[in-house]
Structure 1
Amino acid sequence: MSVTPTDPAVRALVDAVNAGDRTAFLDLLTPGATLSDDGTERDLQQWIDREIFHANGRMDVLSETDGGRSLTADFRNDTWGAMRTSWRFTVDDGGKIRRITTGQA
């Protein structure tokens, strides 16, 4: 059974991923938002295109901590298949995501 993140920005981001809605995803980010994948800094826009939007990425959230800003999810895409992943989000005072940290769980 999928868990719905309690943090509104994170919940909207997961919804955008699962809807394949790149525009909605980007609207949730601060200017200059950053991303780290398995400890390596990545170009956020290139990464989301390669791993999510051009590869039919989907997230099934299994659990959350930190008020919904840390997730464990089954993530799958057409490139890598399915894997258990962890996601941490830094959300600013205005409710925009400024940092995404992801990797295998």
Structure 2
Amino acid sequence: MASTQQGRVVEHALLPVKPGREAEFEAAFAQAKGIIAAMPGFRGLTLSRGVEHPQTYLLLVRWDTVDDHEIGFRGSPEYQQWRALLHEFYEPFPVVEHFDELERIETTN
């Protein structure tokens, strides 16, 4: 299941934050992002907040391989810190899926 191209696996998670706890979640995420960023195989992330549904966040994390996320990160002691900081905010718990990135277009404007 692991991708053979560096940084081409995208973890996708819609994070349904309990209403009224968005600011707390964002503060906790600001702490937690350093945990995930230090993990082997991590290549970057974006966190976006829903426009129509501001209690829903979209987390996209780029990994070298699915195993870097599923085994490396989730099996690490650091994941317990991540979990302690963030998991209390979700209702229901998010579904996480992985995608092989086929195309990426970025502009400088």
TM-score, normalised via structure 2 length: 0.32
Structure with greater contact order relative to length (CA < 8 Å, sep ≥ 6): 2
Bigger Rg, structure 1 or 2: 2
User: Higher helix proportion, which one?
Assistant: 2
